[in-house]
Structure 1
Amino acid sequence: MSYLESLRVFVRVVELGSITAGGRDMRLSPAASSARIRDLEERFGARLLNRTTRTLTMTEIGQVLYDNARRVLAALDEAEAAVASASGTPQGIVRIVAPLVAGRRLVAPLVPRFCAENPEVEVRLRLSDRAVNMVEEGIDLAFYLGHPEDSALIRRKIDDCRRVLVASPGYLAEHGSPARPEDLKHHNCLLLRFPRSPEYYWVLDGPQGPIKMMVAGRYDTDDGAVLTDWALAGAGIANRPRYEVADDLAAGRLIALLPDTPPMPAEFGILTPHRGFQDPKVRLFIDFAARALKGAAA
């Protein structure tokens, strides 16, 4: 087994928190991923990971290896990227994360097209509405909807994503339609929430400026698509990107609410870690996506 590849597997296992997830990210079976870890443990004559059915933690020696392996692999990746840049042929893996719905509808269709134009590049796309630590999880670029505050990341805006408050005709027939933003306090608002989520309020675009409305509901989720499904089922009012519900609005399955004070647009763009040298394949994907997605989320 390649010592270097075993190191890569070990680092990804630690970053993703499980042998199965780390192996999957490296396109290995759990058995093959475990074999790579055992290979390293035999090489160093020490246990690197403490494993139970629920948790995976590093031993003291494992921590030392992880810290040093990350630096070595990062330096190697930068060297390979520099060579690829000089040769004019981007190659290697681009690791991307994107929000669930935007990832499915906007980002995922780009991947085959990009790879067809760049046959030496592989793309690993993860979809999640949760915030991720890009540096710790080895992510090259992350698509975002909103206004990220992490100053340690480089932000490239692609477009403004219009949002809309929606509810089903059935819900409005039973509960009435809000006539002004304050009426939202009397409705079941469907919320996107997850650990450390800031969305306990909605910001509407009023004639005198932003209106911050504290909203509440009987249930919430960490999957934006579920909010749309709940709204379609008549469960309450959802705050969704307009592109996501455009077909439902056109078909009358959902009704747009408070058109004079819609939600403030969400910024749609790409985040990358601060690095002295940006890998050409990452830069290439960013430029490709920025061109292809301009106007797609508006």
Structure 2
Amino acid sequence: MPYLESLRVFVRVIELGSITAGGRDLRMSPAVASNRIRDLETRFGVRLLNRTTRKLTPTEIGRAFYDSARRVIETLDQAEAVVSGFSGTPRGVIRLTAPLGVGRRLVGPLVPRFCEQNPEVEIRLRLSDRSVNIVEDGIDIAFFLGEPQDSALLWRKISDCPRRLVAAPEYLARHGVPGSPDDLAGHNCLLLRYPRSPEYYWMLSTADGPRKMLVSGRFDADDGDVLTGWALDGHGIANRPAYEVASHLAQGRLVEVLPETPPLPAQFGILTPHRQLQDPKLRIFADFALRELKGATDTGR
């Protein structure tokens, strides 16, 4: 088993880009993870990784070994899935990812409930508003809020997610209330931005159909909750999921802007690599999530 554990460590280190991240993902210290890599290099008498103070990259033979090691791990995981299917008891690790707001409010509370019902399953949840490569990052299930683009992944919709343009009363008192979508050009729009982020425009629903509005602002962030906080503090107009700002709207801390031309709703659902469909624990978790979260983001009007 130590050899198989070392293979898993090596695969995750390559996928996550560092020994620290790979070890953390497998719940071991960087020192232990580093020793596992060193054991493999000693076993085969080759260097698998090039290490510098800033970067870790696989050697040529390390890249070839990674491809083979990943296939071994996938085969073992598939074998475990077959056994789980016959035994009727899901077991093993499920790796999840979700946007920060969705993860904190919806997926986080879901995890303990699922694990209580399935005590032999371990869940590792990673939250980020940045886009992730599900296949390359070894993700089993990704919660998604937006418009899915990758046809190579299986998309299962949970619900629609209305969005609202919101601002604090104080901001609107200082800068005026937009009377039409064109007025957004004169306002500080708070954007969710990160490397390769698509959000430099907002899609609004108008009487003439969807309309793309180019928007800008003096500062942006890669965390949606930061945008909501800035809006609450009176710094600009934010485009946020309705369920995330519903309580602030009800309390008057935020005001809906341009309610007659709201942003197009996003879709809330899960993305799964097709190769994972044969794993019973993933099907069980996906079905559980769809059942438990149905309508969770639909606050209506």
**Same fold (TM > 0.5):** yes
Cα distance in 1 for residues equivalent to 2:198 and 2:123: 30
Matches within 5 A, 1:4-153: 4-153=4-153
Which deviates more from structure 2 when the two are superposed, residues 60-69 or residues 105-114? 60-69
Distance in 2 separating the partners of 1:288 and 1:164: 28
Q: Write the letter of the residue equivalent to 2:10.
A: F
Question: 2-side partners of 1:206 and 1:226: how far apart?
Answer: 28
Measured after TM superposition, the shift of residue 148 of structure 1 is 1.4
Farther off after superposition, 136-145 or 193-202: 193-202
Q: Would you identify which runs of 4 or more consecutive aligned residues in structure 1 move more than 4 Å?
A: none
Please give the alpha-carbon distance, in whole angstroms, between the structure 2 residues aligned to 1:219 and 1:128.
19
Separation (CA, whole Å) in 1 of partners of 2:16 and 2:8? 12
Which residue identity does 2:293 align to in structure 1?
Answer: L
Give the Cα–Cα distance (whole angstroms) in 1 for the partners of residues 198 and 23 of structure 2: 33
- Seen in structure 2, the aligned counterparts of structure 1 residues 276 and 94 have a Cα distance that, compared at 3 Å, is closer
In the alignment, the residues of structure 2 paired with residue 256 and residue 274 of structure 1 have an alpha-carbon distance, to the nearest angstrom, of: 40
Task: Supply the RMSD in Å over aligned alpha carbons.
Answer: 1.0
- Tell me the CA shift for residue 75 of structure 1: 1.1
Give the corresponding residue for 1:172. Answer: 172
Q: Identity of aligned pairs, percent?
A: 70
Aligned to 2:145, the other structure's residue is in SS state strand
Question: In structure 2, what is the Cα distance between the partners aligned to 1:207 and 1:244?
Answer: 26
Aligned residues: 298
C-alpha separation between the residues in 2 aligned to 1:56 and 1:160? 41
Displacement after TM superposition at 1:278 (Å): 2.4
| Structure 2 unmatched ranges of 5 or more | none
Task: Tell me how far 1:16 sits from its aligned partner.
Answer: 0.4
Secondary structure (helix, strand or coil) at the match of 1:275 reads: helix
* Residue 197 of structure 1, CA deviation: 1.2
Match of 2:3 in 1: 3
AA aligned to 1:249 is L
| C-alpha distance in 2 between matches for 1:179 and 1:157 | 34
Unaligned runs of 5+ in 1: none
- Does the 8 A contact of 1:142 with 1:271 survive in 2? yes
Secondary structure of 1:157 counterpart: strand
Matches for 1:272-283 after TM superposition, within 5 Å: 272-275=272-275, 277-283=277-283
> Deviation of residue 208 (structure 1)?
2.2
Q: In 2, Cα distance between the equivalents of 1:286 and 1:162?
A: 22
Are the equivalent residues in 1 in contact too, given 2:7–2:69 (CA < 8 A)? yes
Per the TM alignment, residue 22 of structure 1 is displaced from its structure 2 partner at its CA by: 0.3
